Chain A
Amino acid sequence: GAVVSQHPSRVICKSGTSVKIECRSLDFQATTMFWYRQFPKQSLMLMATSNEGSKATYEQGVEKDKFLINHASLTLSTLTVTSAHPEDSSFYICSARVRGGLSEQYFGPGTRLTVT
């Protein structure tokens, strides 16, 4: 149980275009989902916390107009990277906290974004 999927697993896009990444909790309801970014050989950096039905809370330094997060249901959150640039190339990972659970998070497999 507690499986989180992400789609796509990897995407290549041109500079200036937008890319949408989906995060789904497959067998549980997640009131809270998290989005992370990870650069090579670095730790995960929390970008934003997304609660179902409300606006996402962004970490300091993360542009909310560039990284649009939507959490429309208890099993789906999306991250849209708008007007992507090469410096946005990274590994994006989502996680979901089980509804009513303590603090354990289940992570998706990640999405590798390359902006050319």
Chain B
Amino acid sequence: GAGVSQSPSNKVTEKGKDVELRCDPISGHTALYWYRQRLGQGLEFLIYFQGNSAPDKSGLPSDRFSAERTGESVSTLTIQRTQQEDSAVYLCATRKGVGEPQHFGDGTRLSIL
């Protein structure tokens, strides 16, 4: 497709389970970002990839959160031992190059019971 694709669109899971969220970037977009949007709040930066390296992980809230990227392709965000405060919409954005705007996916709505 032409845009950033995220899956699943919705995920409901029990507290303590691990979840994996996927982001397929726009072809040719080298930079990839993960953000979290809690209900009624703005987006919080989580992690930035340039290619398959992550020079900025400063937004990851705890060591339960990790992310990987395969080359300049798919990225996965993994949350281990989920907690209720992890409930949020997780957004992925990609960018072609410096000075270019970020393009956002529709997000994954994660609900922890």
Is the A/B pair a real complex?
Answer: no
Partner-B contacts on A (CB < 8 A): none
Partner-A contacts on B (CB < 8 A): none
